[in-house]
Structure 1
Amino acid sequence: MLEANRRIFLQSFAAGAGALATSQSFAAGSDGHAAGYDVSAASEYLKTIPRKSGDPVVFTAALDKGPIKATSGGWAREITARGLPIATDIAGAHLFMNAGGAREMHWHNSAEWAFVVEGHCQVTVVDPEGTAEVVNHGPGDLWYFPKGHSHAIQTLGPVPCHAILAFDDGLYSEHGTFGISDWMSRYDTQALSQAFGVPADAFAQIPKAETYIMQGEVLPLNGPQARSARELDRARSHRFSMMAQKPRVSTSGGALYVASSREFPMSTTMTGIFLKLKPGAMHEPHWHTEANEWHYVLKGRTRVTLFAPDKRVAVAELSPGDCAYIPRNSGHSVQNIGTEDAEIVGVLDSGIYHESSLSYWLAKAPRHLLANNFGVPESAVANFNKRSVISLPPGPG
């Protein structure tokens, strides 16, 4: 009798310990059968998967509070993966040039994209085949330079010019930005004389280091230099007037402008976006299947919600001068939480623009599938409708 009771106790203890082990090792798949055809339902399961603990990812930064690189003709600030580690594939910058200032001729190991915020400038580009383009830009215009295309930017008119720039390399400034003054100042003047077929003393006045943005005389907005522009045809031009185009999306809540390679053929690796949101409006939860996104707040206050690759959710509020980086395929939304219109300019690191939305899934998936996804009756999901890409909060009632 005592031996029988002992066996029952040991069997019960073993069963209890086994159940505890099964519960604790659920994620390891130790419950149920799993050998060839011998499979079965789990005898124990979680109702929902626990959320990951820990701090959410940092995906925003204050670009315009970063270090400034200023020379006689203007300045620039940049944000790279050094300051925002999540931004591995896109770096951003803010370029300001005085009236009469010019960013000297240079080129990169990365492509460069820009949106002119205010002022006017003249861009000169020479491609690897020796084809030159000289083209004037104003507010709302884009430029795009493929990697290796030499280029320079010079302010036109009495008003300073500034632009928001992006590069398809998170560490672009450390991976190769080549300037003409920096390079030529390191050469022996006799070597330069041989290379260019002019006397060596012609190079005596070359600065002994990088000039970066040089102050010069103010060029009239409608003067002979401005009128000397030579723009290439649409397929080859490095310029595109994004804000002169019809927006891709326009609703009572705002508008979305897009300049992909379809609209701007030269821009093969980057797509420009400009988002306007009325107070309270939201760019719906969505993701980009082909690209990372980097954007900068020009005006207003926004709240960005990110569903990150590590399954954590991060929320950040941005003001003018702040920027955000959204990794590829990460769900996100942008809301205007201020009292004035918000304006956001940004770029995706792909020449193809794809946007998948959560509301499309909810509207187009079979009701029985959604009911299963959420564990609710079909009647609870029967009224999901496709919402506008940009929407205002629902009214009362």
Structure 2
Amino acid sequence: MTEISRRALIAAAGGAMAATSAAAQSAAPAAPLPERGGKGADILGPQNRPRAAEEPFTLAPPATDHGTMPNLKWSFSDSHMRLEAGGWARQTTIRELPVSKAMAGVNMRLKGGAVREMHWHKESEWAYMIKGRARITAVDQDGRTFADDVGEGDLWYFPGGIPHSIQGLSADGIDGCEFLLVFDDGGFSEDSTFLLTDWLAHTPKDVLARNFGLPESAFAKIPEKELYIFPGPQPGPLAADRMGGSGPVPKTFSHKMLAQEPVRTRGGSVRITDSTVFPASATIAAALVEVEPGGLRELHWHPNGDEWQYYLSGQGRMTVFGSESKARTFDYQAGDVGYVPFAMGHYIENTGDTTLTFLEMFKSPRYADISLTQWLALTPHPLVQAHTGLDPKLVEALPETKSPVVPG
């Protein structure tokens, strides 16, 4: 090859690469500009355009945003994915979202037959089945037993220290399941649970033999390290897995959230599940919220603790008021985690064209929220007028009952 042909080849290759890069840039979704009402400017330096396109109200926040607020958003897409034979797990804890001190979450997938091995942990575990079905089992301190099959929209709750297991089921054309776990401590780590195989692997076999009253040779096949998630035998009929023991647990560890009649409004609906309807769930209360396009989860706050959110579908934005003239807006979509520190006022808008669905969780036995509208409606009206400047007739017309989701 001559020097001239080499130069021509290099030039052609460079041109192709430039064209490819330009095509990739043009194919990327158009990112909003950080401009609003004559303020701001375009971005001259490098930027992640696909990510910026997902964050329109973060890039160009409302004029009412002000001051410094902690980050209140994390996407499970940014969490480390632990891959295992039979499934995966990823988590959002105080390490990923530093403000999340009260609660942590794990997103887990189990194929049909795959087992999240028998284990326990210090923290209580609340769960929501996102897709598919699973069999869950547990035994309490009095030898009382529990086993149930859970499907989409079902919950379970295991108190701290109670040993349990989860196994994926293949049903209705779905290979296994995917679910969300929420723990009542932001410092929780999925890697620090007490695993059956891990303990057996670190106990001398002669001790195991004496403990179980079996020959030492019976433990020759004990795994040398933890299994965590592993393929297991397909479960048989549920009745066969309902062991007798000292009878069933007094408060069932599962609950059908979608079977609850929701609070319906013109803008959406809310299902509230706390210890009043799911008695076993002693440390976590929850709500499943649906907001129709253009709707708004009304301005409110919670007097019983921090709020940990998980977005199931749709697109939305949340603005949080933190006192001291501080407010910040965040964009959310399916798979994102939101967080609201204790007592901070907030609202959530549906910014998409489909239903926005999300979960609200609280480290509390009871669900509680305070509606800004209801507070004003039930406070002496001259006092409200003095604060707001609203026309007296408008104050009189404020509804005295909560409407958790208002229409657009």
With over 3 angstroms needed to count, the CA separation of the structure-2 counterparts of 1:370 and 1:95, relative to structure 1, is: same
Establish whether residue 121 from structure 1 lines up as the match of residue 134 from structure 2: yes
Provide the residue aligned with 1:197 in structure 2.
Answer: 213
Structure 2: gaps spanning 5 or more residues: 1-63
Provide the residue aligned with 1:183 in structure 2.
Answer: 199
Aligned-pair CA distance for 1:308: 2.4
Provide the residue aligned with 1:284 in structure 2.
Answer: 298
2:145–2:248 CA contact under 8 A, matched in 1: no
Map 1:248-287 to 2 at 5 A.
249-287=263-301
Q: Tell me, what secondary structure is at the counterpart of 1:99?
A: coil
Map 1:221-370 to 2 at 5 A.
223-225=236-238, 228-229=241-242, 236-247=251-262, 249-308=263-322, 312-370=326-384
Q: Distance in 2 between matches of 1:64 and 1:179?
A: 26
Q: Tell me, what secondary structure is at the counterpart of 2:342?
A: coil
Q: Tell me, what secondary structure is at the counterpart of 2:189?
A: helix
With over 3 angstroms needed to count, the CA separation of the structure-2 counterparts of 1:109 and 1:304, relative to structure 1, is: same
Aligned-pair CA distance for 1:152: 0.4
Across the aligned residues of Structure 1 and Structure 2, the Cα RMSD in angstroms comes to 2.3
1:137 paired residue among 150, 154, 170: 150
Q: Distance in 1 between matches of 2:296 and 2:145?
A: 42
2:209–2:215 CA contact under 8 A, matched in 1: yes
Establish whether residue 209 from structure 1 lines up as the match of residue 232 from structure 2: no
Provide the residue aligned with 1:21 in structure 2.
Answer: none
Establish whether residue 146 from structure 1 lines up as the match of residue 159 from structure 2: yes
Provide the residue aligned with 1:29 in structure 2.
Answer: none
Aligned-pair CA distance for 1:229: 3.9
Q: Distance in 2 between matches of 1:275 and 1:268?
A: 21
With over 3 angstroms needed to count, the CA separation of the structure-2 counterparts of 1:345 and 1:233, relative to structure 1, is: farther
1:162 paired residue among 163, 173, 178: 178
**TM-score normalised according to structure 1 size:** 0.80
* One-letter code aligned to 1:212: Y
2:106–2:190 CA contact under 8 A, matched in 1: no
With over 3 angstroms needed to count, the CA separation of the structure-2 counterparts of 1:234 and 1:192, relative to structure 1, is: closer
Q: Tell me, what secondary structure is at the counterpart of 1:192?
A: helix
Aligned-pair CA distance for 1:281: 1.1
* One-letter code aligned to 1:169: D
Provide the residue aligned with 2:404 in structure 1.
Answer: 389
Q: Deviations over 1:214-246 (max 9, x none)?
A: 112334xxx435654469879510001111111
Q: Distance in 2 between matches of 1:363 and 1:227?
A: 56
With over 3 angstroms needed to count, the CA separation of the structure-2 counterparts of 1:235 and 1:258, relative to structure 1, is: farther
1:254–1:281 CA contact under 8 A, matched in 2: yes
Q: Distance in 2 between matches of 1:265 and 1:390?
A: 26
Structure 1: gaps spanning 5 or more residues: 1-50
1:63 paired residue among 76, 88, 109: 76
Q: Distance in 1 between matches of 2:219 and 2:395?
A: 75
Q: Tell me, what secondary structure is at the counterpart of 2:386?
A: helix
2:123–2:160 CA contact under 8 A, matched in 1: yes
* One-letter code aligned to 2:183: F
With over 3 angstroms needed to count, the CA separation of the structure-2 counterparts of 1:321 and 1:203, relative to structure 1, is: same
* One-letter code aligned to 1:392: P
1:115–1:163 CA contact under 8 A, matched in 2: yes
Provide the residue aligned with 1:6 in structure 2.
Answer: none
Aligned-pair CA distance for 1:384: 3.4
* One-letter code aligned to 2:135: Q
* One-letter code aligned to 1:261: S
1:271–1:350 CA contact under 8 A, matched in 2: yes
* One-letter code aligned to 2:108: L
1:362–1:385 CA contact under 8 A, matched in 2: no
Map 1:35-50 to 2 at 5 A.
none
Q: Tell me, what secondary structure is at the counterpart of 1:332?
A: strand
With over 3 angstroms needed to count, the CA separation of the structure-2 counterparts of 1:103 and 1:317, relative to structure 1, is: same
With over 3 angstroms needed to count, the CA separation of the structure-2 counterparts of 1:285 and 1:53, relative to structure 1, is: closer
1:234–1:265 CA contact under 8 A, matched in 2: no
Tell me which structure has the larger Cα radius of gyration.
1
The more displaced of 157-166 and 378-387 is: 378-387
Q: Distance in 2 between matches of 1:86 and 1:94?
A: 19
Q: Deviations over 1:127-165 (max 9, x none)?
A: 122211111111111000110011100112252211111
Aligned-pair CA distance for 1:118: 1.1
Provide the residue aligned with 1:13 in structure 2.
Answer: none
2:154–2:256 CA contact under 8 A, matched in 1: yes
With over 3 angstroms needed to count, the CA separation of the structure-2 counterparts of 1:372 and 1:173, relative to structure 1, is: same
* One-letter code aligned to 2:215: P
Q: Distance in 2 between matches of 1:127 and 1:86?
A: 33
The more displaced of 383-392 and 231-240 is: 231-240
Question: What percent identity do the matched residue pairs reach?
Answer: 34
* One-letter code aligned to 2:204: D
With over 3 angstroms needed to count, the CA separation of the structure-2 counterparts of 1:309 and 1:108, relative to structure 1, is: farther
